[in-house]
Structure 1
């Protein structure tokens, strides 16, 4: 209950204070390339329940995909993807594309801190023993893995098969860190991870 109140308070404050910034980013996305401002994608939430995550669109819009980002094939970004727009590149590097997830936190689909929500395609690769533990909490905007793998696309770009590298190398480590978070979860840990995330972004 305390964690939910913490999330609700900070997400409400964040949406209010950052409203001008969100509107400015939305305008930049709209002017930079044709297509919707927001990107919505199905992710797996708490207890395996699907939900739609919100992000600012960072890729060129493709009509048959409906969101400017791939719904089939690779569902990870590898290296300098040509589909990423000029504004999108900046938003990804600064993590500002994630700000609309404050709405997901406010709605109760996500938490400020928690294991990052995956698409169903990769959740299918979760080992049974870890799946229930990782999905027992609300997914978060940031977590330990988000900080450690903030340059994930560059790492995967060096792999011969990026998707297999993600499934067999990156994902197991992310799950181990997620399970560690679930075991150690506390409001103090959340505050520390939020601070580390802000420092990591500012440091870039």
Structure 2
């Protein structure tokens, strides 16, 4: 973790400082978190390679376009990186509508709905975990236009790498349903949904621990399997 003086100017604020002080006292835990991410992501890439191959073929046969969806997102210290997902929407979907997806989004392909239901599209993010741009658990990386609207306190979530899952992701697993009835999807997301999700992200930063990360991963698996939470 960087020293306070080495943080980007937009992060060195009174709103971020309390979260920084908490995390800076847990350097050993942060090191364990990164080691776990690297080992587990490498193992899963090998173990899931046959499944990922099948997904890749299914995506390619189902609709025109690339196998992977790559989009600029924001991670630790405000770094912009390209997130990887198996493509679940039609080609150039980001140019045909909002950056977020609604329940009955016509841009989602047939195989895409299946992949999204079981979050199989996100297995490609194992590559992002290995490179260090993401972690298994952490604040979900927002698209650049949304991250540019972060409040000063929201910047605290950029102290750690973005995550594949989080407590907020679990709580808002049906986010697409909430946005499905919105007239202005982007406005509702930024003004209503994002601030509520951030409350869980703040809590996760304040109570950060390696054990809590593991529990969040287990909760995510249960939710994907249809367990209520």
Cα distance between partner residues in 2 of 1:46 and 1:32: 35
Query: Who is 1:198 aligned against?
Result: 221
Which of 18, 22, 30 is 2:48 aligned to?
Answer: 18
Which of 101, 109, 119 is 2:133 aligned to?
Answer: 109
Give the 3 Å change call, closer, same or farther, for CA 71–186 of structure 1 in structure 2: farther
1:99 counterpart SS class: helix
C-alpha deviation, 1:163, in angstroms: 1.8
Counting only pairs closer than 5 Å after superposition, residues 66-105 of structure 1 correspond to structure 2 as 68-71=92-95, 74-105=98-129
Name which one, 1 or 2, has greater alpha-carbon Rg. 2
Q: Deviations over 1:147-186 (max 9, x none)?
A: 1111111111122322221111110011121111111111
Cα distance between partner residues in 1 of 2:109 and 2:42: 29
Query: Who is 1:128 aligned against?
Result: 152
Q: Deviations over 1:58-86 (max 9, x none)?
A: 1111xxxxxx3214752111221111110
Query: Who is 2:84 aligned against?
Result: 54
Cα distance between partner residues in 1 of 2:208 and 2:72: 25
Cα distance between partner residues in 2 of 1:29 and 1:180: 37
Query: Who is 1:4 aligned against?
Result: 34
Which of 43, 50, 63 is 1:33 aligned to?
Answer: 63
Q: CA RMSD in A?
A: 1.3
Where do 5+ consecutive residues of structure 1 fail to align? Answer: 62-67
Where do 5+ consecutive residues of structure 2 fail to align? Answer: 1-30
Aligned residues: 197
Query: Who is 2:15 aligned against?
Result: none
2:73 counterpart SS class: strand
C-alpha deviation, 1:129, in angstroms: 2.5
TM-score (norm 2): 0.83
